[in-house]
Amino acid sequence: MKESFDAIVVGAGPAGCAAAYSLARAGLDVLLVERGKFAGVKNMTGGVLYGPVLNNLIPDFWKEAPVERHVTRHVITLLSEKTSLSIDFNSTGLDESLQDGYTVLRARFDRWFADKVEQAGGVVITGVRVDDLLWDGKRVVGIVAGGDKIPAGVVIAADGVNSALAKKAGLSARLSPENVNQGVKEIIRMPRELIEQRFNVSGDGGAAIHFLGFCTRGVHGGGFLYTNRESLSLGVVVQLKALIENNLKSVELLEGFKAHPTVKELIKDGSTVEYSAHLVPAGGLGMVPRLYTDGLLLTGDAAALVLATGRSLEGSNFALASGMAAAETVRRAREKGDYSQETLSHYAELLSESFVLQDLKRFQRSAELLENQRLYSVYPELACSLAEKVFRVDGDPKKTVWQLAREEMKGRVSIWTLLKDALAARRSV
């Protein structure tokens, strides 16, 4: 192994692999260090990877990457205790290039991506944890791992949420129960034919279902179910503060979610083969720390670059795009032979020009909106009970949908509160 590198990337998730791959392809000497036995072994995501960003880096990546299914059905399902109401967007009829989401299993996907780094000429070491940064005064000049000091022009921290390296550099995102969500997930094995029949998909098509309401017992969070080739990814993501204040445990919420009549039918005859839990930053722009210092850049979850709007939880794309922007910054810095923070500030410029900081800025009020408890309790219950009345034919004279809606709203929410919430949502979703 070389004694010194142009760049060392710590963590082989999407941020780290994208950074290391870009640097290796640009001809820089890059080392990618991952603590897992292999890249992705313990990594977790809900499972939808939106394709365009990776497609820019590796055109038609989905033809060779171990993606599970192409998402052709996006479903939003509101849950009351016993019923559900769904909006189902089916894009099967669209051109394939417009269907941009893929379900992935990280243990396979990250491993493939780390292999790509090696094929591009990068050095990849797995099973080694980076313990510290190497300093020359106030400048980061490498890493300390397994007792070895490995020098480099620059270090890219892609070590995920609660980044140890960001902390050591005094740059870390301030994690608190309000701005962090906890996700728990099961992989449920199911025969391919059964998945296709049950979820109304065929070939490589797949479904991404997001749940709101009873899956989190009405507290801040939601549920998800994604179809893979021969398994389902099922989980709940809940704000840490909501878990603490309501004395709830994610594992119990997941069990309750699985027992809901709607979900029970969807996972029937499947068998759980894997369980995982992970934190995800959810505080939006307000929690993004300073992104660089002399000799160091922060990417992906390590920099809290995750968009949580209630419409989606999008982190992988932000990780990929920030990894690529970090690589471009390092490439330029190497040309100048200068890894000072002045030169590395180009990274923040690149992120400001891209969707990464623009989306986080545009949706910076989302965190506030998502604090509204009615989103998780009153509204899903109201929608389901209204649907129940609308679809019931009981021999009595019928009422209009408007009359039924007013009756269902009584005692639950006033029209003014509803309008106020709709206005807030208009700016934040």
What residue ranges bind ligand FAD (CB under 6 A)?
10-16, 33-36, 43-48, 129-130, 158-160, 164, 183, 185, 235, 237, 278, 280, 300-302, 306, 313-317, 319
Give the H/E segment covering residue 109: helix 106-119
Task: Please state the closest distance from residue 428 (CB atom) to ligand FAD, in A.
Answer: 19
Longest Cα separation, the chain? 84
Residues 6+ apart with CB under 8 A from 237: 46, 181, 182, 183, 221, 222, 223, 224, 280, 313
Comparison of 281 and 408: residue with beta carbon closer to ligand FAD: 281
d(CA 359, CA 322): 13
Residue 146 Cβ vs ligand FAD, minimum distance, rounded to whole Å: 10
CB of 293 to ligand FAD, least distance (A): 18
Which CB contacts under 8 angstroms, 24+ apart, belong to 274-278? 274/186, 274/187, 275/184, 275/185, 275/186, 275/187, 276/42, 276/44, 276/184, 276/185, 277/44, 277/182, 277/183, 277/184, 277/185, 277/250, 278/44, 278/45, 278/161, 278/182, 278/183, 278/185
Minimum CB separation from ligand FAD for residue 395, in Å? 46
CB of 165 to ligand FAD, least distance (A): 7
What are the residues facing 198 on neighbouring strands?
Answer: none
Name the residue nearer to ligand FAD (CB basis): 134 or 384.
134
Cβ proximity to ligand FAD, 46 vs 218, nearer residue: 46
Q: Which is nearer to ligand FAD, 323 or 380 (CB)?
A: 323
Q: Which residue is nearest to ligand FAD (CB)?
A: 315
The minimum distance between CB 364 and ligand FAD, in angstroms, equals: 18
Q: In whole angstroms, how close is the CB of 48 to ligand FAD at the nearest point?
A: 4
CA–CA separation, 4 vs 287, rounded Å? Answer: 33
Residue partners of 329: CB distance under 8 A and separation at least 6: 292, 297, 343, 344, 346, 347, 350
Is 116 or 383 the residue whose CB approaches ligand FAD more closely? 116
CB 5 within 8 A of CB 127: no
The Cα 74–Cα 87 span in angstroms is: 8
Choice between 28 and 319, CB closer to ligand FAD: 319
Nearer to ligand FAD, 48 or 225 (CB): 48
